[in-house]
Structure 1
Amino acid sequence: MSLKKLISIFFLISNFIFALEIQPTMFEQRIDGSGGYREFIVSNNTNSTLRYKLTIFPGSKKDRDMSKWTEVSPKILTIKPGRNGIFKIFVQTPKEISDGEYDYTLSLKTMDLPKLPGETDKIASAAKLNFDFRLNFIGYAGDLNPDIDFINPVVSTNANGKTVISGTIVNKTPKRGIYCAVNVISGENSLNYSEIRVPVNGEKQFSVTLEPNVKKSDITGITIRNLENSDIILKKPI
């Protein structure tokens, strides 16, 4: 195979992979009781119709696998160029399971499609490569309300004169990690947004560089929002 053809295939694969966009990027739902449910949007940023086969597989935690309780609908998702598709995941556990985290793996595998009028050979070939995108999603059981702290906050100026805020997000929630959004606040305005998942009994370093027009004196605090339901779980002055 020639180098030119190899490079073409590389960029074809790269463009196809980066064309896959899924929102939200997590499950993070309580799965016991009435069960957990979330809708996902898949964007098709190519100029070709794409079709995916959706399958639930066991997660990484053998003793905490929730794939056997998980359903995805539809099983086949077809998305036209420049459009969005929606799939739904529902989890219903037995009546009594142990508190804590569980996980599963979602597979989105591309399926061959007949070439449509106006599609290029390259894009048609991309679908035939049958990519299998695997995403690990986490849920939890038990009344485990999020308990998060933001410690050691530092507001500084970097070598380029931009304001930087940093600190440590500590998860004190028993038995579950927390997927959260961090907003830097200036007065009544939200300046920045960042998604972080803090593991069980763990912590994550947080650092963000703000826009050039934001001064150190503008920063008044941060808020941390639980991405399970968008509730604010911490509001802290700085």
Structure 2
Amino acid sequence: MGKKIFLILIMWIVGISKVYAFEFSPIGFDKRIDGGQGYGEFYLDNSTNNTQRYKVKIKSTGKENDVSKYMKIYPSILTVEPKGRGVIKVYGEVPRNFQEGIYRFLLATESVPMPSLKKHGNDVNGGVSMRTNVAVEMEAYVGEVRDDIKNLNKKIIEKNGERYFQGEFINNSPRGYEIGVGFVDGDDSLIEVYSQGRLKGRGKMEVYLKIPRRSKKVIFYDYNNQVFLKDSVKL
């Protein structure tokens, strides 16, 4: 099922206009929340020249499979320095004998206005640079959900002296994945992993990547759980 991202940007321009950037990652939780395994981290990157502050909350989706009341978050107020990164820690655990399946909750951030001092001549004025509100619907699961991802239509394409890997992921599992595609050398050392975004449950994704030199195998990675998926392709 698709993920819903609600993004509201409200900007106040004080003096000269500036470009602001806000980045939230990853966009999935995808943890098993029974048996003490339900821990994940999220990142807020601030590429502005101003300190940004956010309220962070867990909210209900309003759906039958909502597990927001079992989720905990730290910190509840997050301050991110200019050009810095803030970390949000989320943990969930449901009671014993909870029914197996896929569950959801909302992870919400709301920027807290921070006055900044702007000097115009001999006067110093206060201003607010930006407000950003984001609510992301997250997936979690209870019980064993085995990997059921196939990589079909796999091809190695030669073009202008370079090699490219082309394929299509088919996800037969009900849960979603943040997919990475990696390349391994002859010593089974990882050369590089490239994020490909979110592959939703029962969904599919096309991949087309340049193959780094020395690569001997293509591997596939579950970013949020930091494990390699079963399928791989020898080059």
Same topology, TM > 0.5? yes
Deviation beyond 6 Å, 4+ runs, structure 1: none
Any idea what the Cα deviations from partners look like across 1:31-54, whole Å, max 9, x if unmatched? Answer: 123251112332322121111011
Aligned residue number for residue 221 of structure 1: 217
Q: Which runs of 5+ in 1 are unaligned?
A: 1-5
- Deviation (angstroms), 1:77: 1.1
Greater helix share, structure number: 1
Q: Is the 8 A contact 1:153 1:166 kept in 2?
A: yes
- Deviation (angstroms), 1:90: 1.3
Pair 1:162–1:136, CA change in 2 (3 A): farther
Aligned residue number for residue 8 of structure 2: none
Aligned residue number for residue 201 of structure 1: 202
Q: Which runs of 5+ in 2 are unaligned?
A: 1-10
Aligned residue number for residue 141 of structure 1: 142
- Deviation (angstroms), 1:166: 0.9
Length-normalised TM-score, structure 1: 0.75
Any idea what the Cα deviations from partners look like across 1:182-208, whole Å, max 9, x if unmatched? Answer: 113454553552334333233322222
Are 2:88 and 1:87 aligned? yes
Length-normalised TM-score, structure 2: 0.76
Q: Looking at both structures, which has the greater relative contact order when contacts are Cα pairs under 8 Å and sequence separation is at least 6?
A: 2
Are 2:24 and 1:22 aligned? yes
Aligned residue number for residue 229 of structure 2: 233
Aligned residue number for residue 4 of structure 2: none
Are 2:163 and 1:163 aligned? yes
What's the % identity of the aligned pairs?
25
The residue type paired with residue 126 of structure 1 is S
Greater strand share, structure number: 2
Pair 1:168–1:35, CA change in 2 (3 A): same
Pair 1:45–1:197, CA change in 2 (3 A): closer
The residue type paired with residue 170 of structure 2 is V
Aligned residue number for residue 182 of structure 2: 183
The residue type paired with residue 180 of structure 1 is I
Q: Is the 8 A contact 1:48 1:123 kept in 2?
A: no
- Deviation (angstroms), 1:124: 4.1
Distance 1:195 1:237 in 2: 20
The residue type paired with residue 68 of structure 1 is K
The residue type paired with residue 181 of structure 1 is G
Aligned length: 216
- Deviation (angstroms), 1:142: 0.8
Q: Note the aligned Cα RMSD (angstroms).
A: 3.2
Secondary structure of the residue aligned to 1:63 is coil
Distance 1:12 1:58 in 2: 37
